[in-house]
Structure 1
Amino acid sequence: MRFRLTGDQRALRSATRGLLDRVCPPKALRAMADAAGPPRLDRVMWAALAEAGVFALRLPEDAGGVGLGAPEAVLVFEELGRALAPGPLVATHLAAGRVAGAATGETVVTRADGGLVAWLAEADVVEGYGTGGGVTAGTGLPGAVPLRSVDPLTPLHRIPAPAAPGPWDPSAALLTAAEQLGTAGRVTELAVRYAREREQFGRPVGSFQAVKHLCADMLVRTELARAAVYAAAVSGDPAETAGAKLLADDAAVANARDCVQIHGGMGFTWEADIHLHLKRAWLRARARPVAAEAEEAAAHALAASAGARTAHPSL
C-alpha cells in the first residue's frame, strides 16, 4: 500500500509545524525543564492549540469540530511529538465531545494509567479513576503522591486505589504512536545535522562509516514505524494499532539513544536537548499498550489470520 498525502493533509502538517514553532519553541521547553519545582502547563500554548482545532479535530462540524479523521489526527500528533509539546494532549483530544470545554481548551483532561496520572495539578478532570470515570482534579484524588518523573517536562503522581486495568484504548495508542513517530523523525534530523557539522580529524563525523550506519538505521526505523502508524490510522484495526505502537516505541527510544551517541560527550549533558526527547520517548513507551501487550495483540491477530488461511486455502 502506498501512502501519498493529499494537498490538504500536507497543508495541515505544515500549518501545525509552523504553529508549534511559534508557541512551543525549544527555548520555552528548556526554560520549563530548568525551572524549579514541577513544570506548569503553558495555558497560552494550550489555548493556541485549541484555537487551531487540535482538540476538536475529529468532532463533526455540526458539533463545533473540524470534521477530520484519524489520518489527519495522526499527522497533527506526529508534529506535536516532534516538537515535544507538553501536556495531556491525547487525553484532552479524546475527551472532546464528552467532557465540556475539552474541545475548546477550557478544560484540561488527563487520564489515570494504572496507578499513575500525569499533569494532575494542571488538569481539571481526571478520567479512568475508580468507578467514577471522571473526577475533578485536586478534590477528587485525595492521597495522590507526587513522583519524580524521568521526563522533566511531564509531572507524575501516584494515585491511591487505582482501578483494575481494563482493555487498552486503540485511539489513545494510535495517537501516542504518532507522537513517538514525531520524536523518531526529529532526533534523526538532529543526528544527521550534527554529523554534517561536527568535524573530527579534519572531516565531518558523518563521513565515517560507523556514523553513517547509525543514521541509516535511524531512518529505516522511522520509515518502518511511519508506514505502520499511517496504515493503522487508515484501517482502524486494533491489532495493526498495537503493532504500530510497538514499532513507534522502538523507533523513538532507539533513535534518541543513537542521536545521543552521535553527539558524543555533548549528547550526555543536560544542556543538550536530546535527553528531553529520549526521556519523553521512555515515558510514552510505558503508555498502554506496553510492549508485552502489543506483542500479544499482534501475535493473536497473526495466529487468527494463519488459521483463516488454513481453513480457506484460497485466501
Structure 2
Amino acid sequence: MNKKLLVLFMAVLMAVFTAACGSNSAAPATPATDATKAPEAAQTSEEITIKHKLGEAKLKKNPKTVVSFDYGVLDSLDKLGIEVAGVAQSSNIPPYLEKFKDAKYTNVGGLKEPDFEKINAMKPDVIFISGRQEPAYEELNKIAPTIFMGVDNEKYMESFKENMKTLGTIFGKEAQVDEELAKIDESIKKVNEKATASGKNALIVLVNEGKLSAYGPGSRFGMIHKELGFTPVDKDIKVEGHGQSVSFEYIMEKDPDYLFVVDRGVVNKNQDASTSAQQTIENDLVKNTKAFKNGNIIYLDANYWYLSGGGLVSTGSMSEEVMKEVKW
C-alpha cells in the first residue's frame, strides 16, 4: 500500500512540474519591456530631412558625432547640453567658449580652412557650417550631411529662430529651444521699447587696423536697427559684407546720438594689441559728435558681434549688452 502511494505521489509531482515548464516556455515577452525599448529604437533609426540655403541634408535624429564650424551654433549646442566632437580650433575661439580648446575636441581646422583629412577620419554624423565655410560645402557634404546655419542679416531674427528650431528638431530639444527663444524675445523687446521711446539715432562702425566701415539696416550688425529699435543716422549705407568704407569726417557730419563700435582687432591675431578701437575712434573729429559729448560711444563685444552671432548665447548677450551699456 505504501509503495502504491509513493508511485501516485511521484506521478502527481511530475504532472505539476511539466505543466509549470510548459507555462514558462510559452509566456510572451513582458509588454512593459517592449514598450520601453521600442521608442528608443525608433528614435535612433528615425531619418529626417533638413532643408537649408545650400540644399538638403538627410540624417538620423540625435546624431552622435557632431562637427561645428560656426561658433554661434557651437554656443547653442553647448547651451542645449549637446556634445560636440569637432571644433574649428585653428581660428580664434571666443573666450566664453574657451572650453572647446581642450584636446578632447578634434581640431577640424580654421573657419576658412577645414581639415578635410581629420574630418573624414572622424566619420561625423553631421557637420554645421555658415558663410565662412560656404565654399567648402560640396567637399564637406561628401564626408557627412552638412547643414548651412548662417544667419540672413536682412531677416536676422527670423533666420536665427529657424536655425535654432532646426537644432531642436535634430536633437529632440524643441521645448528647450522654445524656452530660450522666449527669453531672447523678451530681452529684445525691452531694448526696443526704450530705443523707440528715446527717438535717438545711431551709427554702427567696425574698426579694423585704423580703417572704418559703416553698417546699416540689413547688414551683419543691422540687428541694432531692426530688432533693437535704434533709428539709423544714415539710411543710405550700402549693405555689403565688409561694410561701407567711411571717414572720421563722415562720422562728424552724421553726428549720431549713439555710436556703436565693433573692434575687429580683438579677434584678429595679427593686429598689434596696443592698437585699440577707442584710440582710433576718439580723435578730435569724433569728439565733436553728440555721441562722444554725451558719453554714448558703446564699444561692443566683438566676440559676440563679429565671431559668433546667431547663437542662443551670443544673440541673448548682444541684446543684454546694449541694454546695459546704453545710457537711457
So what's the TM-score if we normalise by structure 2?
Answer: 0.25
| Higher CA-based Rg | 2
Which structure carries more strand by proportion? 2
